[in-house]
Amino acid sequence: MSEENRSIIPFGPQHPVFPEPIQLRLVLQDEKVIEALPMIGYVHRGLEKIAEKKDFHQNVFLVERLCGICSFMHAWGYCQGIEALMNIQVPDRANYLRVIWAELHRMHSHLLYLGLVADAFGFENLFMQAWRCREEILDALEATAGGRVLLSVCTIGGVRKDITQAGFQKILNALDRVEKQFREILPPFIHDYSVKERLVGVGTLTPEKAYELGAVGPTLRACGVKWDLRETGYAAYGRLDFKPVVKEGGDSYARTMVRLDELYTSASLIRQAIQTIPAGEVAAPVKGNPTGEFVSRLEQPRGEVIYYVKGNGTKNLDRFRVRTPTFANLAPLLAMLPGCELADVPVIVLSIDPCISCTER
């Protein structure tokens, strides 16, 4: 086919399927994608520079606003770095509470993803059912933390508030209702002919390529690579029975199946944490200012997030840097697109569950 038959079209930044503003410049030959070039920067807010101007305590609220979908985990990653610099020992109970809120966040993030995928297929009823299920999780977060999206309960040294027995029971009741709804909404994602036609074999990535390009989270584990930072046992994960969800195939269907199974894994982790949580304080005292530098890592819904903090002994940080999982997954995304049909591009982009607001900071 001659070069004259090639065309370049802008895909985004505003698109009915995209949840976030990103533009892909697609080089096409007829309806087939030959190359994809990303154009980012539409929602850059300069948060890393703002963090250097704020008190290191104030930054906890700032980093939560990197992303609403995984706000608690952003606060946790930052606090974990500052705690390491200041040699703060987080109480055991606080570590368990962090796990509970983090896994609730993971569930609501994955349910949001399922709703967006269903909407991309035109399955409006399935979209509404997935998000109705997500509302149960958001209600549990609101009942225990006071917020539905931005919780503001994670703090340097632990958490700001405890969960009562009544609060734990509300969470367990919500999980019971959610798991009952899973049995109704998940089969279409797994077995429906139309869904499988749109996902199976679409946006394939080999394990070698995924590892080489630095894929993280469900994008990496869907390629058969067992890599989940929760296995390192940080916070209370080392005391809970946990096995990463790994699938073969490396396509959009496998990435969706990883998230489906992780819903059950998160529910199991929450139940275990509630059953075994120890008594005690929920926060340790914080004295002085951070000195030195540290790299903090944890597993967000989309994959591994990395926080770099550098203190100089004053209330302001010398340097603050965050590497989000979506940024890590952009290079693998660009490797998935060549060879696909133009109509498959929205589904492939959605399959990495992009959060461009996180990426651009």
CA distance 186 to 197: 16
CB atoms within 10 A of CB 8: 11
Query: The CATH number of the domain where 317 resides is what?
Result: 1.10.645.10
Q: What does the pLDDT read at residue 284? A: 92
CB 163 within 8 A of CB 174: no
Residue 17 has pLDDT above 80, yes or no: no
Instruction: Give the count of domains, the chain.
Output: 1
DSSP string, 38-94: EE--TT---HHHHHHHSBTTTHHHHHHTT-STTHHHHHHHHHHHHHHHTT----HHH
Q: Is residue 317 part of a domain?
A: yes
| Binding positions for Fe cation | 70, 358
First-to-last alpha carbon distance for the chain, in angstroms, is 41
pLDDT band at 18 (very low <50, low <70, confident <90, very high): low
| Binding positions for Mg(2+) | 48, 322
Q: What's the mean per-residue pLDDT of the chain? A: 89
List Cβ neighbours of 7 (8 Å cut-off, separation of 6 or more): 27, 28
Exposed/middle/buried for residue 64 (C-beta within 10 Å: 0-12, 13-18, 19+) = buried
Digit-coded pLDDT (tens) for 306-329: 999 999 999 999 998 999 998 899
pLDDT band at 20 (very low <50, low <70, confident <90, very high): low
Digit-coded pLDDT (tens) for 220-277: 999 999 999 999 999 999 999 999 999 998 999 999 999 999 999 999 999 999 999 9
Q: Is residue 263 part of a domain?
A: yes
| Binding positions | 48, 67, 70, 322, 355, 358
CA distance 116 to 21: 15
Q: Is residue 268 part of a domain?
A: yes
What residue spans of the chain are helical by DSSP H? Answer: 47-53, 59-64, 71-85, 92-121, 124-145, 165-191, 193-199, 207-212, 217-221, 252-276, 325-336, 345-351, 356-360
Q: Is residue 46 part of a domain?
A: no
CB 291 within 8 A of CB 85: yes
Digit-coded pLDDT (tens) for 119-144: 888 888 888 999 899 999 999 999 99
| Binding positions for Ni(2+) | 67, 70, 355
CA distance 274 to 276: 6
Q: Is residue 319 part of a domain?
A: yes
Higher-confidence position of 134 and 42: 134
Higher-confidence position of 263 and 1: 263
Cis peptide before 13 (omega within 30 of 0): yes
CA distance 145 to 167: 9
Q: Is residue 10 part of a domain?
A: no
Q: Is 343 helix (H, G, I), strand (E, B) or coil?
A: helix
Q: Is residue 302 part of a domain?
A: yes
Residue 19 has pLDDT above 70, yes or no: no
* Domain hosting residue 341, numbered range: 56-360
Which two structure tokens, joined as six digits, stand for 126? 């399935």
CA distance 39 to 14: 12
CB 241 within 8 A of CB 267: no
